[in-house]
Structure formats: structure tokens, C-alpha cells
Amino acid sequence: MKPYPRRRSLRFAAVEPRQLKDRIDAFPRWHYRFEFEGGVRTPVAYEGQANRHSERRRYFFDPLLGLLGGSLAGRRVLDLGCNAGWWSLQAVEAGADFVLGVDARAECVEQAELVFEAKSVPASSYRFATANVFDGPGFALDGEGPFDVALCLGLLDVTARPLELFELMGGLGAELIVLDTGISRMRPAVFEVSTLSEPANAVDRRLTLLPSRRAVAELARELGYECVALAHEMLDYTGLEDYRRGQRLAFVCARKTGLGTLRPAPEQTALPWRAASLDPRGLLARLRG
């Protein structure tokens, strides 16, 4: 699929390159590669990360733009688990009227604010908040909601509260939700009980409910969304081993927007073992008492 062009031209060099490099280097780790004027860029642990995010943009962000005529103009975007603001920046460059990025890690929010300052993004078009998304919608009650599009990229698979996460996004008005998540390879609609290897990635606790592909679809339908699991469109799988192994998928969910133009992923092959799991219908019933 041909990438859609950036719709919004951003002024660069709001921060002098030498000063910007010093501020970038003050952070112990960057997960995303950002390029700035003067040859300044954020360091990543290995070069495959840069390719990973470029391919992921082509995989699920460009199809989102395709559903909306090639632009996010006139839309308000909620970026949950925003990290350093890479996807928030994609949304702004695609013409979004406003982006709210939320992350529980203060360091990530500080990085995102630095990136947007260095890119000279108008302050009226974004805000970043340090918050646990399950602490309530207070981070969106300053006149910034409702939102048209919710980006939930790498968050569903690090929580044990998938229903609440969907209810949060739906309750804030999202017509379209883009999910990118690790998935269980089990074929039925189940949530696999899993434990995060990196505690820093946990939303509340290390124990998580890893959804199967069908579980994501059922959860979306329960909240009134049509859901399509996207076929991989990667040209280069460097840094994308989890996608290659069938352990990660992106989904587009919509309440009214037709998803017929999206190419669905083929059914995956289940792993030969079984893990502790919960049926989505039973999970929904238990969570609702």
C-alpha cells in the first residue's frame, strides 16, 4: 500500500541542535527514532527498531488514513500508552485537529513534550498527560474530549482489564479504534493468562490477559464495534519478529465507518499447547457481576 503523504507541514529547529542533543542524551533510553534538523536524532537500542515503527505505520496507520480519505483533518485523536509521542506526531502530521497522549511513565511524557517542542507543533493542537488510563477519564475532562479516533498501540496486551479499556475508549466517543497488540495463538475466543517479562511495562500488575484474535473481535462487538484484523503488509521484517511469528496483530474497530476496504489477516495456526485461559463471555459476565 502506498503511504499517504504528511498533510501538515511542521516548522523545525525550535530548539538549537546542540541544546536539543544534550536534552535527548539526558534520557537513558529512547524507544522510537525521531529525526530533527541539524542531523540530530534520538538513539535506539538497535537499528531494527527504526524499521519496526516505519513498517508498523504502513501496516495499520496508513489503512486508518485510507478509511478517512487520506487525512485526520477535523478529528480529535486519543493516544493511549503514547510513549514518546511517535504516533501522536503521526496523527498531527496527518492533519488531526488535536491529540491527547496519555502514558503512566513520566519519563515518556517528558520525551514526548520535548519532541513536540523541537518540532514546533502548536501548543493548542496537543497535550500529554502522565496518568494511569484506568484512574478514570479525568485526563480528558479539560474540554479536550470527546475523541473521534483512539490509538491503543501496545496497551491491550499489558493489562488484565481489557473490557474496561474498551469501555474507556468507547465512552470517550471513539468512532474508530486502532489496536496493535500481542495475541494468544489459541484459535478459540479466549484470554490467555500471561505474565509480563518486563515489570516496567505493566499498567497495574505483571499478570495480564493476552487476547486471542477472536477474543478481540468478540470484545469489540460487545461494545458495539465492527472489527477487522489486518493482514500484514510488511516489506521488511527486521525488528518485527513477533509479527512474523504470528504473535502480534493490528485491528481496526469502527462503530459506523465501513471497513470493507481493509484486507483481513488469514486465520492463524494455533500453537500445539494449551495455556490457562478465560472465555470472553464468562469474563464479561464476571466483570459485570
Indicate which CATH number applies to the domain containing 243. 3.40.50.150
Decide if 232 contacts 264 (C-beta within 8 A). no
**Segment holding 195, helix H or strand E:** strand 191-195
Decide if 1 contacts 62 (C-beta within 8 A). yes
Tell me what pLDDT residue 86 has: 98
Q: What is the largest CA-CA distance in the chain?
A: 57
Whose cell is 541542535? That residue is 17
Tell me what pLDDT residue 69 has: 96
Q: What is the pLDDT of residues 124-175, one digit of tens each?
A: 999 999 988 887 655 655 556 799 999 999 999 999 899 999 999 999 999 9
| Degrees, nearest 5: CA angle 12-128-259 | 90
Residue 259 corresponds to which cell in the numbers above? 471497513
Q: pLDDT at residue 227 above 80?
A: yes
Q: Is residue 221 part of a domain?
A: yes
SS3 95: coil
Q: What is the DSSP letter of 5?
A: P
Confidence of residue 194 (pLDDT cuts 50, 70, 90): confident
Q: What is the mean pLDDT of the chain?
A: 87
Q: pLDDT at residue 280 above 80?
A: no
- According to DSSP, the residues that pair with 229 across neighbouring strands are 251
Q: Is residue 256 part of a domain?
A: yes
Tell me what pLDDT residue 288 has: 53
Tell me what pLDDT residue 182 has: 95
First-to-final CA distance of the chain = 45
> Cis omega (within 30 of 0) on the bond before 264?
no
Decide if 214 contacts 189 (C-beta within 8 A). yes
Q: pLDDT at residue 78 above 60?
A: yes
User: Tell me, what amino acid is at 173?
Assistant: G
Mean per-residue pLDDT, 188-203: 77
Q: Is residue 232 part of a domain?
A: yes
Tally of CA atoms within 13 A in the half-sphere of 256 that contains its CB = 7
Tell me what pLDDT residue 138 has: 59
The number of distinct structural domains making up the chain is 1
Tell me what pLDDT residue 139 has: 61
Residue 254's Cβ-count burial label (10 Å; 0-12, 13-18, 19+) is buried
Tell me what pLDDT residue 284 has: 54
Q: Is residue 255 part of a domain?
A: yes
How many Å apart are CA 52 and CA 44, to the nearest integer? Answer: 11
Q: What is the pLDDT of residues 19-70, one digit of tens each?
A: 999 999 999 999 999 999 999 999 998 889 999 999 999 999 999 999 999 9
Q: Is residue 254 part of a domain?
A: yes
Q: What percent of the chain stands above pLDDT 70?
A: 81
Q: Is residue 114 part of a domain?
A: yes
Q: Is residue 197 part of a domain?
A: yes
Tell me what pLDDT residue 267 has: 83
Tell me what pLDDT residue 2 has: 45
Q: For residue 169, give the nearest of 145, 143, 205, 188 by alpha carbon.
A: 145
Tell me what pLDDT residue 196 has: 75
Q: What is the span of the domain harbouring residue 193? A: 57-287
